[in-house]
């Protein structure tokens, strides 16, 4: 059966590129003229929590458990929340720890996402060769379509 409702995953990190990707993801969801509402999943992937070493008596708490987390979360998800609210699009916000490529691909496969929207890294040729590009890795490994926003 034809699935008219789309599941759209957008990678969020608080950068201008991810804000553009968030706006584009909501625009894609809102552009559906069918009676079925598309859903946007906004995912923030944080680096793994620091591990304690023998010199640490009390390991640092993950950023999501600090007092400043709510303000930080609000700033990072601001654009996607505002766009989704204005366009009456259902939005799920997800925060994960780990490698961004792995977490995005795992979620997309588990939730049977139709398209992943991700901002371009903006890195130059040399930086891409040394560090790699998350958007390139996602695009080459995803089971679904990937839309890279510049």
Q: Which residue range forms the structural domain that includes residue 68?
A: 7-149
According to DSSP, the β-strands at 39-46 and 91-97 are: parallel
pTM of the model: 0.83
Q: Residue by residue, what is the 3-state secondary structure of 5-47?
A: CCEEEEEECCCHHHHHHHHHHHHHHHCCCCCCCCEEEEEEEEC
Distance CA 22, CA 78 (A): 10
- Which residue's structure tokens are 């961004």? 100
Considering its fold, how many domains does the chain have in total?
Answer: 1
Q: Which residue has the higher pLDDT, 34 or 99?
A: 99
Q: Is residue 120 in some structural domain?
A: yes
**pLDDT-above-90 percentage for the chain:** 59
Indicate whether 113 belongs to any domain. yes
Q: Residues in the chain, how many? A: 150
* Residue 2 placed within a domain: no
Q: Is residue 134 part of a domain?
A: yes
Report the alpha-carbon distance of residue 12 to residue 83 in Å, rounded: 14
Model confidence at 34: pLDDT above 90: no
The answer to the question of residue 42 being in a domain is: yes
As a whole number of angstroms, the distance between CA 83 and CA 91 comes to 10
Q: Is residue 51 part of a domain?
A: yes
- Residue 96 resides in a domain: yes
User: Which pLDDT score, from 0 to 100, does residue 5 have?
Assistant: 74
Per the CB < 8 A criterion, the answer to whether 10 and 93 are in contact is no
Query: The domain spanning residue 82 has which CATH number?
Result: 3.40.50.620
């Amino acid at each position: 059966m034809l699935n008219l409702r789309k599941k759209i995953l957008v990678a969020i990190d608080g950068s201008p590129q991810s804000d553009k990707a968030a706006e584009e993801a909501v625009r894609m969801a809102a552009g559906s003229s069918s009676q079925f509402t598309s859903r946007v999943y906004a995912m923030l992937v944080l680096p793994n929590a620091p591990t304690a070493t023998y010199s640490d008596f009390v390991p640092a708490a993950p950023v999501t458990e600090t007092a400043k987390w709510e303000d930080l979360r609000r700033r990072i998800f601001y654009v996607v929340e505002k766009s989704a609210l204005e366009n009456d699009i259902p939005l799920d916000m997800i925060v994960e720890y780990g490698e961004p490529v792995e977490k995005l691909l795992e979620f997309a496969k588990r939730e049977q996402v139709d398209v992943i929207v991700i901002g371009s890294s903006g890195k130059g040729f040399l930086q891409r060769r040394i560090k790699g590009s998350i958007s390139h890795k996602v695009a080459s490994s995803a089971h679904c379509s990937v839309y890279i926003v510049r």
